[in-house]
Amino acid sequence: MVVCPPMNDATFLQACRREPTAYTPVWLMRQAGRYMPEYRALRERVPFLTLCKTPELAAQVTVQAVERLGVDAAIIFADILLIVEPMGVGLEFSKGDGPVIHRPVRSGADVDGLRDVAPAESVGFVFESVKLARTGLPEHIPLIGFSGAPFTVASYLIEGGSSRNYVETKRFMYSDPGAWRALMERLVRVITAYLNEQIAAGAQAVQLFDSWVGCLSPADYRAFILPHMQTLMRGITPGTPVIHFGVETGGLLELLVEAGGDVIGVDWRLDLDLAWQRIGSQHAVQGNLDPVTLFAPQAEIRRQAERVLRSVAGRPGHIFNLGHGILPQTPVDNVIALVDMVHEMSAKKLPSVAS
């Protein structure tokens, strides 16, 4: 009979606490997604929002990814914009175009017009998904809850969808700092409650996705974002590991650390060992293989994964992940192979690049 370790001794959670582990834990952003044939088959029958709002199905795809890949943590299947739909902004996921906000927030009056949201009442389906996924997962596999960070969520609300230059977001931020502050404060309250409800439902860790924050200068991050992120971090249930992840944040790393989080996510644009030097020894790190590497031959995937592992030389507190999410056309066999490679190579305690 296989005896599973207590949840507190799960390899992923040990790494979050910067404790020594037998091997480097690995999970992958978007590990439940369109690159999986079984997920695509489900999506042919079920629209995306319906999938998110049906706890049995959301839990199913969450657990399915862990079983298929052999990763060390699950992340609940949801979307960072679910929490804004009840605010009355007209959220739609259009095929090929991604999320669309039909009533974008462009003024102080628009901020005032947002509906107050109590996550327990408005998005209770997410917490039910967490409960079902926790029940369906092996006892030793932690479940990660998540939310978009306030800046990224606000940018979607203001831009009305995806953006390349964030003109409307920055225009709003610069031209009406009072309305911007009010929007940030409202989002912080909602996101804090949202994450804490996921923790209460059974999530062992949470991740904040600040996917768009890399568009900001350090000065703007400090002035317009940092105080709100610090308030948010202080409000999360104590004792729960928090992963703070951003994209293209090479110029903001020290500020992300100042904002808070137990684990700092690093994308592939930085060498992980140099990033960790800037982050400091009091934080774990997550990352940071380029997602496009998974389209390469498996020999090259192994070489690149080994490079990442050697760069941190088995230092406690490394969680292997991609620098962003798995891309839709990624070969499933390569994803499975990567997980196996990380487990196998890290168990050998590879020496550092310098040695």
- HEC readout, 222-286: HHHHHHHHHHHHHHCCCCCCEEEEECCCCCCHHHHHHHCCCEEECCCCCCHHHHHHHHCCCCEEE
Quick one: which H or E segment has residue 206? strand 205-210
Told to judge if 307 belongs to the known catalytic residues of this protein, a careful annotator would answer no
Quick one: which H or E segment has residue 124? helix 124-136
Question: Of the residues 34, 189, 269, 307, which is catalytic?
Answer: 34
What is the Cα–Cα distance from 260 to 229, expressed in whole angstroms? 7
Question: What's the full length of the chain, in residues?
Answer: 355
Question: Of the residues 72, 79, 210, 267, which is catalytic?
Answer: 79
Dmax (CA) of the chain: 64
Told to judge if 18 belongs to the known catalytic residues of this protein, a careful annotator would answer no
Between the CA of residue 267 and those of 37, 163, 168, 250, 289, what are the distances in Å? Answer: 27, 19, 25, 9, 8
Question: Of the residues 18, 23, 30, 72, which is catalytic?
Answer: 30
What is the Cα–Cα distance from 348 to 340, expressed in whole angstroms? 13
Told to judge if 30 belongs to the known catalytic residues of this protein, a careful annotator would answer yes
Helix (H, G, I), strand (E, B) or coil at 295: helix
Question: Of the residues 43, 103, 222, 307, which is catalytic?
Answer: 43
Question: Of the residues 156, 166, 194, 221, which is catalytic?
Answer: 156
What is the Cα–Cα distance from 178 to 176, expressed in whole angstroms? 5
Q: Rounded to the nearest 10 degrees, how much is the dihedral formed by the CA atoms of 288, 294, 296, 299?
A: 70
**Strand-by-strand arrangement of the 74-75 sheet:** 74-75, 143-148, 205-210, 242-246, 263-265, 284-286, 318-319
Cβ-count burial 175-211 (b if 16+ within 10 Å, e if not): ebeebbeebbebbbbbbbbbbbbbbebbbbbbbbbbb
Which positions are catalytic?
30, 34, 43, 79, 156
